[in-house]
Amino acid sequence: MSKLERRDFLKLAGAGAAGLVGMQVMRPTAHASSGAEAGEQQWAMVIDQSKCTGCGHCTLACRAHNDISPEISWNEVIQVEPVGDKDAFLPRPCMHCEHAPCVDVCMVGASYYRSDGIVMMDYDKCIGCRYCEIACPYQARSFNWEKFDGENPAVPEWGQPEVERRPRGVPEKCSFCYQRIDRGLAHGLTPGVDPDATPACVVACPTGARVFGDLNDPESKVSKIINSRPTVRLRDELGTAPRVYYVLATPEAFEEAEA
C-alpha cells in the first residue's frame, strides 16, 4: 500500500466518476426520438372507447397478420368497469411511447425507436432477459415461453402472416404493423387512409373505433381528433408519452355511437 497515497487513489476515483457523469450528460442526445431527430412522419393511433364493442376482431386480425401464437395477444381487449349501464372495453396495443421504458432498459438495444416513432424489437439481438417486460407499465410485452410451431388458428380466416415468427425465448409485442406501413409507403399509399398501409387491427375493426395516422400531418384523422376532442393517454403521469390516444366513453357518447 505504502506508495499509493490515498490522495492519488481519490484522484483516480474522481476521474472515473467524472467520466461516468460525462456519459450521463451525453445521454439525451444519444437516443431520444422526439424533437429534431424525429422523422417526417410520427405514427399514432386513436381508439374511441365508446365505439368498441369488445368483439375482439382486432386481436384476431393482429394474430393472423403478425403470426402470433393463440396464447399471446399483442393487442388485448380488456373489459373495464361499465360506463353507465353499458359494457365498456379498452383495447391495449403497444403504446409506442416517446420515452419508452423498455428501450431505456434493454441492455443489448434490441428494443429501439424508429425515426417514425415506432418502438421496434430486433429479435435477433434479444437475449431474453425480460427486463423490458418488467419495465413496461402497460404489460404490452409477452414472452415466448414456448416455441410457437403449430398452425395459426387465425390464418387464413383473419388474414395472412406478413412477418416471421419469433423464436422461443424472446418477448414480443405490437409493432403498429410496421411491415404494412413500410410496404404501403413504398407503393405510394397513405397509412391510416389506405387499408393496405394501415395496421391490421384498424382495418379489421367493424365499428371504426380505431384511427391511425400521422401526428405531424395536421390534416390526418388522428391529428384532427386529438386537436378537437378530449383524449387521454394511459398512465400519462409516468411521462412515457404514449402514441396511443383514447377517447374515453361517456354515457352520452355511447348513445351517440349506437344511433
Partner 1 sequence: MITNLRTRFKPTPWIAWIAFLSIFLIIGVTGGVIVLWKGLSVTNLTDLVPWGLWIAIDLSSIALAAGAFSLCAVVYLIGLKEYEPIARTATFVGLIGYSMAMLCLFMDIGRPFKFYQAFIYWNTHSLLWEVTMCVGLYFTVLVLESMPIIANLKWLRTRYPKLTAKMSRVHHYAPYLAIAGLFLSSLHQSSLGATYGVLKSRPFWYKPEMSVLFMLSAILGGISITLFASMMASQLTNKAKVKDELIEKLSKFVGWALVGYFYWRFWSTLSMTYTYEPGRTEGLELLTKGPLAFNFWFGEILIGIFVPMILLLNKKTRSNRFWRMTALLMVVGGVIAFRWNINISGAMIVLSYLPGQPTVTYASYTPSLVEWMVGGGVIAYGLFTFSLGVRYLHVVDHDMIEEEHVPVNVKVPQTARA
Interface pick for partner 1 out of 45, 90, 177, 253 (rule CB under 8 A):
90
Least gap, CB of 241 to partner 1 (angstroms): 13
CA distances from 148 to 165, 168, 256 (A): 8, 7, 42
**Identity of the residue, 39 or 137, whose beta carbon is nearer to partner 1 in the bound complex:** 137
Site for partner 1 (CB under 8 A): which residue of 54, 55, 70, 80? 80
Report the site for partner 1 in 110-139 (rule: CB under 8 A). 110, 125-131, 133-139
How many other CB atoms are there within 10 angstroms of residue 59's CB atom? 22
The gap from C-alpha 212 to its chain's centroid, in whole angstroms, comes to: 13
Binding test (CB under 8 A) with partner 1, winner from 119, 170, 177, 257: 170
Our CB check for partner 1 shows the closer of 109 and 206 to be 109
Say how far apart CA 236 and CA 240 lie, in whole Å.
Answer: 7
From candidates 54, 169, 216, 217, binder to partner 1 by CB under 8 A = 169
Member of 91, 93, 101, 192 binding partner 1 (CB under 8 A): 101
Size of the site for partner 1 (CB under 8 A): 61
Q: Measuring CA to CA, which residue among 40, 20, 23 is closest to residue 31? A: 23
- Check if the beta carbon of residue 39 is closer than 8 Å to that of residue 116: yes
**Coil, strand or helix: which one is 214?**
strand
Does 96 participate in binding partner 1 (rule CB under 8 A)?
no
Nearer to partner 1, 1 or 186 (CB): 1
Dig out the grid coordinates for 31 from the structure: 437516443
| Contact flag: residue 37 with partner 1 (CB under 8 A) | no
CA distance 151 to 148: 8
Pick 2 or 228: Cβ nearer partner 1: 2
Structure letter (DSSP) for residue 13: H
